[in-house]
Chain A
Amino acid sequence: MARTKNKIKSTTEDRVFDGVSFVVIAILIFICFYPIWYVFCASFTNPTIVAGAGGILLFPQDITLDAYKRVFANAEIWRGLLNTIFYTVVGTALNVILTAMLAYTLSRKNLLFKKPLTVFVTFTMFFNGGMIPTYLVIRDLGLLDSRVAVLLPGLVSVFNFINMRTHFESLPAELEESAKLDGANHWTIFTRVILPISGATMAVMVLFYGVTHWNSWFLEMLYLPNSRDLWPLALITREIILSSSNAAMSDGAVMTQEMADAIKYATIIVTTLPILCLYPFLQKYFAKGVTVGAVKG
């Protein structure tokens, strides 16, 4: 927001406030930044130095790529990465398409079943069967140990549905009406008129769904009990990051605790860096997207 320059001198009280707030914000920035920076440095630093550093590292020292070499040599990690890419791309595409279609339909004013269908959808936000019945349903459908079991959960998120529906409702009715006069049916209107101007909201959907897919591991752990080859990267790396044993990456050789730690750090950086590099570019959509559903325009 642009503030008009004022000619009033700031008082001492204001300067103290500004000073304190600067310090506080700077501390918060540091607190948010340091843990990742530490891991980043530690992943490139000689493990022996890391072990003796007691958690304090400001720069990588005695730079070594050993940990990364081991991480990239791990075939399971590559397979996990491919799986995650598959789940994220295919999953997000399905998510966005299905959510958009649902939201568009339930944003139309003259739909006879609009109210009951909306209740049908939003009720699931407040109540569901729970972990066990859902697991048993997936199992009884024969979907355990299949990719469908990963793509199915969360196929349509009610929260995102509401955001999208709010967006569609905010579009002027003239768009639909004039298209109808030109003889377009609902599908044509949706694909040729509405979607092209919904770019910002769709981008936010892609971001929300995409990040969820990229980081998700628990349901995969639950529904893929016997198929490690289908495991996403998050699940593979979880074993590495949270394991307490030394031989997290069994390549036969015995590993020191320091090396195991170095591999943990490298794994963290490898899994986190893509998202961290991506999100600043999408930052401009956040405030807009988050408030589309929440704040009255």
Chain B
Amino acid sequence: MTLPKMLHKKDQPAAALAMPQKPFRQRLANDLKSNWILYLMALPALIYFVVYCYAPMAGLYIAFSDYKITGSLFSGKFVGLKYFIDFFNSYYFGRLIRNTLVLSLETLIFGFPIPIIFALVLNEVRSRGFKKLAQTVTYMPHFISIVVICGLVVDFVSLDGLFNTIIQAFGGEPIAFLSDPAWFRPIYVASEIWQNFGWDSVVFLAALSSIDLQQFEAAKLDGASRWQTIWHISLPSILPTIVTILLMRLGHVMSIGFEKVFNLYSPATYETADIIATFVYRQGVLGANYSSAAAIGLFNSVINLIIVFIMNKVSRKLAETSLW
């Protein structure tokens, strides 16, 4: 049974201290003396985290203050939750939350099973060459940049692109997909699945390949069909992996990728396409409403954190593994 190693099992034995510890100052001196090189090695990376990750966290002060572009990040007058309340009361609030959640969940609902099914079916393929071919080709879209993916999408859904050609072949009228809000979600989800199902199946294929072969042989001797093998051996064996990955995905449900929406959306489709991140971009970077944008971004981050915490608790109960 494979379990992600970076997660800790609930029942790991606590380290027992048999003898009293030396005073802290002494341990500190010893540690610095023997490990100073190690700390030095870690220093550049740590400086990076301070500058690029933690300094901006401090800069979140602007979400609670009237930041003026002329002053420093901390010079604005403190206004508390003003910008948050403005956001909650604004026209956009419901739309943004709805779009972010719906796009995420639809991608999850439709996109999560496919890599699993693909891995299960591929695992049963007997021809090694065919299996290799399938893997090589299906991994390919993952390595294509999002910009190119969007370029492909734009081209294929254009008025004289492949999809409209097919529609017209069946007697329909061409559809202007990208300016129709109703089509944004299907296009987004389909392109996400196309790009990632192959790559996402790697984890499951790896888990499947670590199943004891004797189980398969025994099943074969008992006369099990392929379908039964999948249902009774393969699937249950990778269930922990499935649960772990699912929980990780759910933990990111409110932090949907920004780049693809940004490349594919337009004012015509804001109704279904505008997500929190793209709104923050327009407000903050284009509109220079820094405080407001920072507040919305912080709101998003906090929601993400809460969801991850909840998922972690759920994971601990369900799968007995958690991120910490």
| Interface of A toward B, CB cutoff 8 Å | 1, 3-4, 6, 8, 11, 13-14, 17-18, 21-22, 24-25, 28-29, 31-33, 35-36, 38-39, 51, 54-56, 98-99, 101-102, 104-106, 108, 110-113, 117, 120-121, 124, 126-137, 140-141, 152-153, 155-156, 161-162, 166, 185-187, 190, 211, 214-215, 217-218, 222, 234, 237-238, 241-242, 261, 264, 268, 271-272, 275-276, 279-280, 283, 286-287, 290-291, 293-297
Q: Are A14 and B5 in contact (CB under 8 A)?
A: no
Cβ 8 A contact of A108, one of B38, B60, B144, B284? B38
Q: Are A104 and B41 in contact (CB under 8 A)?
A: yes
Q: Are A14 and B225 in contact (CB under 8 A)?
A: yes
Kindly provide the distance from the CB of A216 to the nearest chain B CB, expressed in whole angstroms. Answer: 8
Kindly provide the distance from the CB of A271 to the nearest chain B CB, expressed in whole angstroms. Answer: 6
The interface residues of chain A lying within 8 Å CB-to-CB of B141 are 32
Query: Can you list 26 residue pairs at the A/B interface with Cβ under 8 Å?
Result: A3-B126, A13-B225, A13-B227, A22-B125, A24-B121, A25-B122, A36-B144, A106-B42, A110-B34, A111-B38, A117-B42, A121-B45, A124-B49, A126-B304, A128-B57, A130-B294, A132-B62, A133-B63, A137-B51, A215-B147, A242-B147, A286-B139, A287-B202, A295-B206, A296-B5, A297-B5
Known: A33-B140, A187-B37. A291 touches B206 (CB 8 A): yes
Q: Are B5 and A1 in contact (CB under 8 A)?
A: no
Q: Does B105 contact A (CB under 8 A)?
A: no
Q: Does B156 contact A (CB under 8 A)?
A: yes
Q: Are B152 and A105 in contact (CB under 8 A)?
A: no
Beyond A29-B134, A55-B163, A296-B3, list 6 extra A-B contacts (CB 8 Å): A13-B227, A21-B226, A25-B125, A28-B197, A136-B59, A162-B6
Interface centre among A105, A121, A211, A275 (most CB of B within 10 A): A105
The interface residues of chain B lying within 8 Å CB-to-CB of A268 are 148, 151-152
Q: Does B263 contact A (CB under 8 A)?
A: yes
Cβ 8 A contact of B60, one of A24, A133, A162? A133
Q: Which of B94-102, B180-188, B213-221, B267-275 contacts the other chain?
A: B213-221
Within 8 A of A (CB), among B1-56: 2-6, 27-28, 31, 34-35, 37-39, 41-42, 44-46, 48-49, 51-56
Q: Does B308 contact A (CB under 8 A)?
A: yes
CB-based nearest A residue for B126: A3
Known: A137-B73, A241-B148, A291-B203. A32 touches B5 (CB 8 A): no
Kindly provide the distance from the CB of A245 to the nearest chain B CB, expressed in whole angstroms. Answer: 13
CB-based nearest B residue for A17: B226
CB-based nearest B residue for A111: B35
Q: Are B56 and A133 in contact (CB under 8 A)?
A: yes
The interface residues of chain A lying within 8 Å CB-to-CB of B221 are 6, 8
CB-based nearest B residue for A15: B226
A42→B207 CA distance, assembly (Å):
40
Interface centre among A13, A121, A132, A162 (most CB of B within 10 A): A132
The interface residues of chain A lying within 8 Å CB-to-CB of B209 are 1, 287
Q: Are B62 and A133 in contact (CB under 8 A)?
A: yes
Q: Are A14 and B52 in contact (CB under 8 A)?
A: no
Q: Does B86 contact A (CB under 8 A)?
A: no
Q: Convert B277-293 into 0s and 1s, putting 1 for each residue whose CB lies closer than 8 angstroms to a CB of A.
A: 10011001100001001
Known: A105-B38, A105-B42. A29 touches B225 (CB 8 A): no
CB-based nearest B residue for A214: B145
The interface residues of chain B lying within 8 Å CB-to-CB of A190 are 41
